[in-house]
Amino acid sequence: MSVTVQRAGDLRNYVLVTGAYWADTIADGASRVLVLFYFYELGYSPLAVASLFLFYEFFGIVTNLVGGFLAARLGLKATLVMGLSTQIVALGLLGLAPAAWLVVPYVMASQALSGIAKDLTKMSSKSAVKLVVPEGDEGALFRWVAILTGSKNALKGFGFFLGGLLLTVVGFQAGVLLLAGMVVVALGVTLGLMRGDLGRPDKKARFSQMFSHNRGVNVLAGARIFLFASRDVWFVVGVPVFLRDELGWTFWQAGSFLAVWVIGYGIVQACAPRFVRRRAERDGEPDGGSATWLAFVLAAFPAAIAVGLAGGADPAFIVVGGLLAFGVIFAMNSAVHSYLILSYADGDRVAMNVGFYYMANAGGRLIGTVLSGLLYQWQGLEACLWASVAFVLAAGLLSRMLPAGPAGPAGPAPGPSPRLDRVVTPTAAVT
């Protein structure tokens, strides 16, 4: 009976973490579209629009590094609450500010807080998966991670749609305040219903332990940098501005398309275990080889779009169709990465490994964001696409160095589901 009660409590806390993550994801996606199109409509150049998100991405790097350490010392519940609270402040800074304050430095500062909030919340929810799934059950781990990651991206796509709708119906600042209200509700529910710390704090955890000694984690983090740079180098600024300027779409149409793309991307991620297992069914769950072949296949799509644009193909057909195809393969690749990091992660330092990995993820987004505005302003979308090809090939080459065969580290045989109040910090480095 006690095991059943504990299991119910574990799932209850995980449902609350996931719900809070979903609310923050919707708010984050919607506010990003609000900021992007509001300031582009004011006459900001593509590079200036990209600069609004530089601190968002830079502080994502810092947050993931420090956040894993904070989760180890304070517990995942504390970092989750910090993330939600920071998002409320970030949205309030935009929604309550006088119009004269809405200039680049001020918006960059608010976006820095938003980036901190998003990564604290993400790190907390992703780490919690490792604590709920029974140790050694790699199939269940892949399924749970794929569902969480896929649902997050589908809801982020809904956030893009919501951002365009709010900008059209109520305007920039009122829209931002409505998003802040949604996050306030999520924070209240989390504080009122969650029990325990979601990971027992370890006051002996040291910041130096954030830097992984696990080769699989380190190589995967390197591949993640290039994978996400390959997406954001054309998706963050290049594609939205291309749709607006070259194809003549309204910000409502462009925002809706981006929303549909991200929702579809999330659905593919959630279904990734079925697709990837068909390719690697002889070897069981995906491994470094899965990440490698997916990366090399992915490189073909931005290259084909760039060649098509240079050859005079219909730009609407080639960009829209190519982006949809790119999204399918990218989603499967990203889902494999998200599974591998939790599978490679040392059981007693999962929050630190996940924080280190998502620090690399944020680094890739930062590189892609900067180059998206810079390359588009310099040579247009084709330059962004060729940069994407180079980044994907780099991710594929690094993935060849990942461990082959089952990803899960050697350890005890599968047992009952671990408690969510167990220690999540390192006692010794793994060499």
Over the stretch 353-373, which tens digit does the pLDDT of each residue have? 777 787 888 889 889 988 888
Please report which confidence band the pLDDT of residue 37 belongs to, taking 50, 70 and 90 as the band edges: confident
Averaged pLDDT for residues 47-55: 78
The pLDDT, as a whole number, for residue 431 is 26
Closest CA to 148 of 325, 341, 326, 298: 341
| Residue for token pair 């923050």 | 24
**Element holding 282 (H helix, E strand):** none
pLDDT class of 225 with cuts at 50, 70, 90: very high
> Taking the CA atoms of the chain, what radius of gyration do you get in angstroms?
21
Q: Which residue's structure tokens are 């069981």? A: 284
Q: What is the pLDDT of residue 391?
A: 95
Mean pLDDT computed over 382-404: 91
Rounded CA-CA distance 107/40 in Å is 13
Mean pLDDT (whole number) for 332-359: 75
| pLDDT tens-place string over residues 292-323 | 889 999 999 999 999 999 988 898 899 889 88
**What pLDDT score was predicted for residue 226?**
94
pLDDT band of 178, cuts 50, 70, 90: very high
Q: Which pLDDT score is estimated for 418? A: 37
* All structural domains of the chain: 2-195+209-399 (1.20.1250.20)
Q: What is the pLDDT of residue 169?
A: 87
Q: Which pLDDT band, with edges at 50, 70 and 90, does 416 fall under? A: very low
| pLDDT at position 227 | 92
8 to 200, 272, 351, 416, 420: CA distances (angstroms): 18, 27, 22, 13, 11
Q: How many residues does the chain have?
A: 431
The pTM for the full model equals 0.68
Q: Which of 56-70, 90-104, 340-354 has the lowest mean pLDDT?
A: 340-354
pLDDT digits (tens, 9 = 90+) for 54-68: 788 788 778 877 776
Most confident of the ranges 176-185, 289-298, 409-418: 176-185
